[in-house]
Structure 1
């Protein structure tokens, strides 16, 4: 029983790490509001309505990237914004792995893993149930993503200040 409690504690620690990833992600993604406001030349309240109306990260990033690519946006501003959106998208795959999955265990409640909740249509077959173990390497990947998101967050604030976007 003691050993089982130790394994459960490890899984609980892993879930706390995923929670920290989610918090860091959401906090960083919400800063796109300032990009929307600055690039579209609207106030922060209007940008917030636009941000909340778009219900996926992909849609929000697409909007920011498209605004940055407008002809009236300076090349420096465009490059700074597109660099950041690229960095955010670079972290999206890992975040999605832990947010759009089923957590599974073997018959003894051991060997925790994620199973992706996605179906990939191939020419004449389906591929589903991609699985990843919840191990030290997975925890290290999440910790690295959290650190990178913190750096992205800082970079976003630098761009907001540099280009005087609404705060």
Structure 2
């Protein structure tokens, strides 16, 4: 399955959503932009295209999205993907967790680990949990030595899903 993301003004993205009632399109508002997300068929003119490596949960029309964008070396792709396919799954048991998508870019080297939470507090509680610490002990933000598959600094983008009107 593929995932497609595009950005634009809220009004423009809303018209795309309205023009495709047969396909769920999720609008997400960030600090300085609005992004549209859809799974399945591409309906965007200029999408960022990703292949889903792994997934759990259902994407909803409400919640808080955190995207961990991780540049990965070409040689490190299998290792990175294997790490996520064989993860402990602790995030799924976290209160407020709704969905996770591990996304492989079809162009470029930056993978996206997209998580959907009930709200900001649910994400913050996960981030401050022992389960988070355990899951990220060798590769997280506090880790001094980064995994060999990392091709550069990771960065987070955060959004609020805009509910259906």
Instruction: Report the TM-score when normalising by structure 2.
Output: 0.25
Q: Which has the higher strand share?
A: 2
Instruction: Report the TM-score when normalising by structure 1.
Output: 0.25
Q: Which has the higher helix share?
A: 1
Asked which structure has the greater CA Rg, the reply is: 1
